[in-house]
Amino acid sequence: MRAEMMSEMRVAPSILSADFARLGDQVATVMDAGARVIHVDVMDGHFVPPITIGPLIVNALAGQVHGAGGVLDVHLMIERPERHVQAFADAGADAITVHLEATAHVNFALNAVKEAGCRAGLALNPGTPAVAVTEVADLVDHVLCMTVNPGWGGQSFIESSIDKLTRLRGLLPASCTIEVDGGVDTETAPRCADAGATLFVAGSHVFGAPDPAQRYQALAASIGSI
């Protein structure tokens, strides 16, 4: 299954920092450079202040990404995510990540993701303790550890995240992937890898540069990925 790629040591470019006027070209650039996990940041103006994109854009990219052998990794920064899981699954999401802080019904939300046929991810804000994952650890395929506060690209990596990653790795079964998101670059990614992360979301470091392909490849090389 394609989504197994989410378990490998990989960089996942985040389209949040891409040029939306030529989104398909930007995705093609990083996929030609080797990317196979494309990270999509969905924001609702409530859970986080900005509003970004929804299922329409996931659907618009699905044919291209799947056709090139990739997967769509959808990060929902929205309140009550369980209400929108099916729409994102129908649009072509391969993995759907919900925030623990965004719903009182996180067990229900994660089950909804799995029932929709997607890999289920649980995201934690920087202020949420690692131990919070334990009650749903058996339901999650990956834990997304926010290494900045959610809502914006281009922020600085929060240093205390390294110790948190070590705690998460100790709490989670080996089958559960740890994804890091925020401030990931060639300096922070290897340190996150040493602490147990294997999936590295990068927005501004890749798309904020004149040559996203070169940035993608350098970042992948920094963690020993392809």
Between vectors from CA 134 to CA 130 and to CA 138, what angle results, nearest 5°? 130
Range 203-222, binding ligand DX5 (CB under 6 A): 203-205
Q: Do the bridges between strand 199-202 and strand 177-181 make them parallel or antiparallel, or are there none, so unpaired?
A: parallel
Sheet-wide strand order for 10-13? 10-13, 199-202, 177-181, 142-146, 119-124, 95-99, 71-77, 37-43
| Position 41 contacts ligand DX5 (CB under 6 A) | yes
Range 116-155, binding ligand DX5 (CB under 6 A): 148, 150-151, 153-155
Task: Name the percent of the chain in helix, strand, coil, to the closest 5.
Answer: 45, 20, 35
Nearest to ligand DX5 of 39, 119 (CB atom): 39
CB of residue 179 to Zn ion, shortest distance in Å: 9
Catalytic residues, which ones?
Answer: 41, 181
The partner in contact with residue 148, picked from Zn ion, ligand DX5, none with C-beta cut-offs of 5 to 8 angstroms by kind, is: ligand DX5
Of positions 95, 202, 219, 223, contacts ligand DX5 by CB under 6 A:
202
DSSP lists the bridge partners of residue 95 as: 73, 119
Of positions 89, 162, 184, 192, contacts ligand DX5 by CB under 6 A:
184
Of positions 41, 44, 73, 82, contacts Zn ion by CB under 5 A:
41
* List of residues contacting ligand DX5 (CB under 6 A): 14, 16-17, 39, 41, 75, 148, 150-151, 153-155, 181-184, 201-205
